Structure 1
Amino acid sequence: MTDDRVTAGGPAGGRVTVVGEALVDLLWRRGEREVRAVPGGSPSNVAVGLHRLGRPATLVTAWGDDAPGELVAAHLAGTGLPVHRAPTGPPGRTIVAIASLDHDGAASYDFLAAWDPRELTVPEDTAVLHTGSLAAVVEPGASRVAELCREQRRRGRTVAADLNVRPAVQPDRAAYRVAVRRLAEVTDVVKASDEDLRWLHPDLAPLDAARALLTLGPRLAVVTLAAEGALAVTADGHVARVPAPPVAVVDTVGAGDSFQAALLDAVAAHGGPPTDRALLGAVLARCVAAAALTCTRTGADPPTRAELAAFTRHAGGRH
């Protein structure tokens, strides 16, 4: 397989199944009186991003029969993405996130969270299983998700996770670290932002925190660095780092999810975590381009394969 096929998101490789929350983001920009409700949720955004990149993808999620749930259902139905809606325990409420946007578009979150999916199953043709965010922390669903990851890894499938740390749902740092450890122990690829790692381990630099995650079992740890780009470190010590292309930021909602979709697309195409340094650099460059392009739009709006290819060509021409 050539580097071009891996980084271009072609049809090689198998299905990515994403397990996690679908929710409604209430986007509230500082100084404004009106709040905009948009469907989101990190796992949902990642699955939609994969679908737009042309990668076979399935979302396994749960939502309630309430007003936010109607918005989620309508959104997912319109994406064309295969969705398995798991039954959920009471009270059957859809997660709502309040996304407070600063004037520069940066978002901070608070949540009305309920995550209790039952009967988590994945398609038989799944090659990569992805999870993370609230689904890996909010109980009782988080324990079921961790067990699913463990089972799928035993079956030889690649398991990936995005920590996407949200202290609003678990402010106890020690308890959050336990949840992260449980997740890292059953994954092959783990991704986090530098902000995630600084909150979890204030005494460690992001690269050192990523290396600490690798001691728990993953073969690849990836760290996003906001406007500074991204870095990755492999279990055998290879480090790759790329800058992010400059863009005019509308908001940062969903940028990390678009990055993750591009990363999972490459993992699926490569048949596992890309660990060659040159290949890893090329993969990261495509991932930061996907995130940057998303920042030019309102809300979580990941690019299509064609949009990403055009943006990457244009960004490359500016250097």
Structure 2
Amino acid sequence: MKGMTTFGNVQQRAEALAANYYDALVPVKEMEFSDLRTVKIGGEPHHLRRVASQRVAARLGIPHPYLERCPADLQAEQLNYWLREERNEEFFVRFDGADVRAVFTPRYTPADNLEVLSRLVEIGVGTETKVQVALDKEFMSLSIPDQNRTFEVKGDRLTPGISVSNSEVGLASLSVKAFFLRLVCTNGLIAKTEVSSSYRHVSARILEELPQALGQVQGELDSSRDKMRISMSSPVSDPEATLRSFNRQFQLSQREQKAVAWGFVQEPGKTMWEIIQAYTFGSKHSPLTAEESHRLQVVGGMVLGMVQ
């Protein structure tokens, strides 16, 4: 799910994704790997999704790219050897039906997307509220524009708001940041602000403090206006080289770089504003995951933050 929609539609999609979700504390001694993508729990085989296999490998201290190159029997041998060395007696395992979607230590208390959405309802977000979203099984990026605060910068109309992102499988912590929606093309930019709030996954604290975090970010939304104005007047002699430089700086993947190149073609130009829009336009590229789309909006905001 990606693009402009209503908050109610996001709720429905999140509920549909979560239909078969459940969590369990699993004794480590009951786990045995058949290979990198299959684990037996109590003798029953379960498919490990890629994110789960990456987290397991990281937890056990084995480089995931190395394991991927190994044959299945060697994968199992190494995973099971280091699993026996694990100091925790249990793992916190997140399931989607028979699939394992995440594996954490017992101290990890994740924030569920449905909990976050419910908290937003409690503080006044209605089902018909227009939002921009990128949502899949691994990541949620939800941006809520404040239509009453739309402003213009050199004829370009923008609506500020807040962006809430969360990963139930540990790709990122719950985060609340400033957001700008460019109305002419619905490009979204997640601004780098001093009061952006990010929390480790301790649900009670997150959900208690969400209203305060939203209020803090709302109070700083105007701080990016001057940088936007300056970016529109800041010339760039070689846009392609500039994009390559930023891509390296932010360590974008090949797929993300292709999305940025596609985004630049949508609105080419020779100012920093067009450079920024390459990232925000690129976030809408269809092959991207929700996390990748969110990342490009964040990179756009970080590039804006560099404008002097």
TM normalised by structure 2 equals: 0.26
More helix by share: 2
TM-score by length of structure 1 reads 0.25
Higher relative contact order (CA 8 A, sep 6+): 1
Higher strand share: 2
Q: Which has the larger radius of gyration?
A: 2
